[in-house]
Amino acid sequence: MTGIPWEQRPDTAESRTCLRRPMMAMEAPWSPNWVDISNPIPDPPPVRRATFPFSTSALNGDSIEAARHHPFSLFLYFFLFCIHPPMPKLLKLKATGRREKKKMDEETLVDENFPLFSKRKPTPKPSKNSTTTAQNPNPEQPLTRTTNPTSPSSTFADLGLAEWAVQACKELGMRRPTPVQHHCIPRILAGDDVLGLAQTGSGKTAAFALPILHRLAEDPFGVFALVVTPTRELAYQLAEQFRALGSCLHLRCAVVVGGMDMINQAQTLMQRPHVVIATPGRVKVLLEQNPDIPAVFARTKFLVLDEADRVLDVGFEEELRVVFQCLPKNRQTLLFSATMTSDLQTLLELSSNKAYFYEAYEGFKTVESLKQQYIFVPKNVKDVYLLHILSKMEEMGIRSAIIFVSTCRSCHLLSLLLEELDLEVAALHSFKSQSLRLAAVHRFKSGQVPILLATDVASRGLDIPTVDLVVNYDIPRYPRDYVHRVGRTARAGRGGLSLSIVTQNDVDLIHEIEAVLGKQLDKFDCKEKEVLDNITKVYKARRVATMKMMDDGFEEKAKARKAQKLKTLAEKGLLKKKTRKRKREKASKIGD
């Protein structure tokens, strides 16, 4: 019905629709501010009004000529246009209440809860020279998905990396790419979003670091990439690996984590380093408190979530929302993890047709070169058996060991006990300041101390080649935590030993771990009489360690820390969620 003044149009459903919103009936050429209202839609609420500027092109000569005989209607057009500008095309709503954009020439990668895969990526047009493997004969089936691929026999040069990157790999002893590197690096270089699931020690860090540095060398600017990690120690290790791989690029890499001076971190970000490696909480605070920081990430090309199963945990949802709002939509999003969780499974189902998924994941699985053993002991003599195991390190050919405990209190008490027994140890837990945590990791990695006592803050990502033994002093509650713990040894094809100290209270946990792994742990043999010879010495050292812990006020610090944590969870609304989750888990176990 174009070209006919609206007052002369026949009385049809289309004309009545136009009369209800006369500002849409003006005969103007197409403009981005105009809306197709062939299907009647309700007026949106005022809070959702578009903020488009007034466009003089909306009124051309034909419109004025059509309204010349109705001066009041022309005034009405202007009045309605100013107070209620046209809306863009409304988004159709799913039954779940989520918005879904119409399919256009571009596809939008989105997550159900928040825009994780949020880049707008043009749909590739089929070329005449493309091979059949590069095209999808059935668009309903996912094209970019690799499940349980075989080990490739290629080189880094075959993956499309620059010569300097290939040389850097050779200098670091990386002769051939691992399967995760072989499949993910070309996809990242091609501009695809990637979710990679592979075992611990399989080279996931280099799988995303090498293509990022390759692209950075072509167009260097800052901030080029943002890497988000769940723990501070992993952030510092990733920074070391980025610097090692990009040593010839004069790479500027910044680490932004809690426990360090925020003013210095803000100044560092304002200098726009090439790569920023951060924990979610600290980067959120910097983005909210400094209005200049969001502009730093306006051109970021890559967002990486390392240990994605932990980063996507419900506790980080608020932080990730703030981070995503500051990143451009045309970024690449890369997720890497060693274990599959419900969040990653949901993401897999939502985006399986839009992102490349590499899956060398067959459930909770450990590497074949890892020897897994257990020792069953009474609870009150765990320390005695631990001392016996550590005293046999040199005899067993073990260079260094990591001992995992479940709580900060146990970690602190055990470190005092072992020091009282004249053993050199370093302790790593969240109650320590960041400077002391870094010092502990440095002492252990440099070989100054052969034993590291740690909570699960050290269970992910830490890659220390000299670690030959992992001791589970406390059995982890979840099998996936066990997989990450024992993954600190037997990395990159090397051998290793994991030893779990099992008490009468841990039998169900160890059976669950064995069921998930699909294998039984071997028994660690030791002579009980030889072990119990040191029981008096260990008990005496434990009493002294307990008194020292009371004197340094650790218990008061622990209570204050717990109260603050509960307050934070309550403010985020997560306390009730966790309580309900525990009730559901308990009910499911009873039902089984």
pLDDT tens, 176-208?
A: 999 999 999 999 999 999 999 887 778 899 999
Q: What is the mean pLDDT of residues 24-33?
A: 43
DSSP 526: -
* Run of H or E including 577: helix 575-591
pLDDT bracket for residue 314 (50, 70, 90): low
pTM: 0.66
Quote the pLDDT of residue 360.
78
Contact between residue 257 and residue 282 where contact means Cβ atoms under 8 Å apart:
yes
Spatial separation of the C-alpha atoms in residues 373 and 370, rounded to whole Å = 10
Check residue 310 and give its pLDDT. Answer: 84
Question: What are the tens digits of pLDDT across the range 364-412?
Answer: 678 888 999 999 999 999 999 999 999 999 999 999 999 999 999 999 9
The first and second tokens of residue 377, run together, are 């002991």
More confident residue, 127 or 484: 484
What residues contact 206, with CB distance under 8 A and at least 6 apart?
169, 174, 181, 241, 245
Rounded average pLDDT over 125-147: 40
Q: Is 9 exposed, middle or buried (0-12, 13-18, 19+ CB in 10 A)?
A: middle
- Of the candidate ranges 58-62, 136-140, 203-207, 467-471, the one whose mean pLDDT is the lowest: 136-140
pLDDT for res 4: 54
According to DSSP H, which parts of 6-160 are helical?
13-20, 61-67, 71-83
Report the alpha-carbon distance of residue 474 to residue 386 in Å, rounded.
Answer: 11
Query: Environment class of residue 36 by beta-carbon count within 10 Å: exposed (0-12), middle (13-18) or buried (19+)?
Result: exposed
Indicate the DSSP class of residue 75.
Answer: H
Q: pLDDT value at position 550? A: 87
pLDDT of residue 308: 87
> How do beta strands 522-523 and 370-376 pair?
parallel
User: pLDDT > 70: what percent of the chain?
Assistant: 68
In the prediction, which pLDDT does 17 show?
44
The predicted model gives 91-119 an average pLDDT of 40
Alpha-carbon distance of 100 to 107, in angstroms, equals: 11
* The most confident of 114-118, 287-291, 343-347, 480-484, by mean pLDDT: 287-291
Residue 366: phi and psi, rounded to 5, are -105, 165
Q: Is the pLDDT of residue 346 over 90?
A: no
Domains and CATH numbers, the chain: 6-83 (no CATH), 107-121+143-359 (3.40.50.300), 370-552 (3.40.50.300), 557-591 (no CATH)
Helices (H), 492-527: 507-517
Q: Give yes or no for residue 362 having a pLDDT over 80.
A: no
Asked if residue 304 lies in contact with residue 291, where contact means CB atoms within 8 angstroms, the answer is: no
What is the DSSP secondary-structure string of 106-123?
EEE---SSS-SS--EEEP
Task: Report pLDDT digits (tens) over 502-522.
Answer: 999 999 999 999 999 989 999
Identify whether the C-beta of residue 414 lies closer than 8 Å to the C-beta of residue 448: no
Task: Among 15-29, 156-170, 228-242, name the one with the lowest average pLDDT.
Answer: 15-29
Rounded to an integer, the average pLDDT of 249-268 is: 94
Which of 28-32, 90-94, 114-118, 245-249 has the highest mean predicted lDDT (pLDDT)? 245-249
Residue 153: what pLDDT?
56
Is there a contact between 387 and 515 (Cβ–Cβ < 8 Å)? no
Backbone angles phi, psi at 505, to 5 degrees: -90, -5
CA distance 496 to 493: 10
Token pair listed for 422: 């004249």
Euclidean distance between CA atoms 224 and 298, whole angstroms: 10
Which two structure tokens, joined as six digits, stand for 75?
């005034």
Alpha carbon distance 116, 195 (integer Å): 11
Least confident of 136-140, 395-399, 444-448: 136-140
More confident residue, 417 or 59: 417
pLDDT at 443 over 70: yes
Cα–Cα nearest to 200, from 516, 400, 490, 515: 490
The whole-number pLDDT of residue 96 equals 37
Query: What type of residue is 30?
Result: W
Interval 238-264 mean pLDDT? 94
Helix (H) or strand (E) run with residue 496 in it: strand 496-502
Averaged pLDDT of the chain: 77
- Angle ∠(96,102,106) on CA atoms, nearest 5: 125
| 529 three-state secondary structure | helix
Supply the pLDDT for residue 249.
92
From residue 231, give the alpha-carbon distance in Å to each of 73, 205, 238, 259, 316.
Answer: 64, 15, 11, 12, 12
Highest mean pLDDT among 67-76, 96-105, 360-369, 416-425: 416-425
Nearest of 222, 217, 221, 209 to residue 293 by alpha carbon:
222
Q: Model confidence over 118-131: pLDDT tens digits?
A: 444 444 443 333 33
As a whole number of angstroms, the distance between CA 183 and CA 151 comes to 10
* pLDDT computed for residue 29 by the predictor: 46
Average pLDDT over residues 151-180: 88
Average pLDDT over residues 228-250: 93
Residue 36, pLDDT > 50, answer no
| Residue bearing the bigger pLDDT, 253 or 431 | 253
C-alpha 266/C-alpha 292 separation (Å) is 9
pLDDT band at 477, cuts 50/70/90? very high
Please report which residue ranges of 466-574 form alpha helices under DSSP H.
479-486, 507-517, 528-532, 535-551, 554-572
Q: Tens of pLDDT along 565-591?
A: 788 777 767 665 555 555 555 554 444
Higher pLDDT, 242 or 318: 242
**Across-strand partners of 276?**
226, 254
**CA 180/CA 491 separation, integer angstroms:** 14
Whose CA is closest to 87, among 10, 32, 19? 32
Structure tokens, 477: 């509650």
pLDDT at residue 132 greater than cutoff 60: no
Q: Which pLDDT does position 114 carry in this prediction?
A: 52
Residue in 356, 293, 311 with CA at minimum distance from that of residue 117? 356
Task: Pick the range with the lowest mean pLDDT from 372-381, 448-457, 465-474, 559-568.
Answer: 559-568
Question: Percent of the chain scored above 90 by pLDDT?
Answer: 49
CB 109 within 8 A of CB 157: no
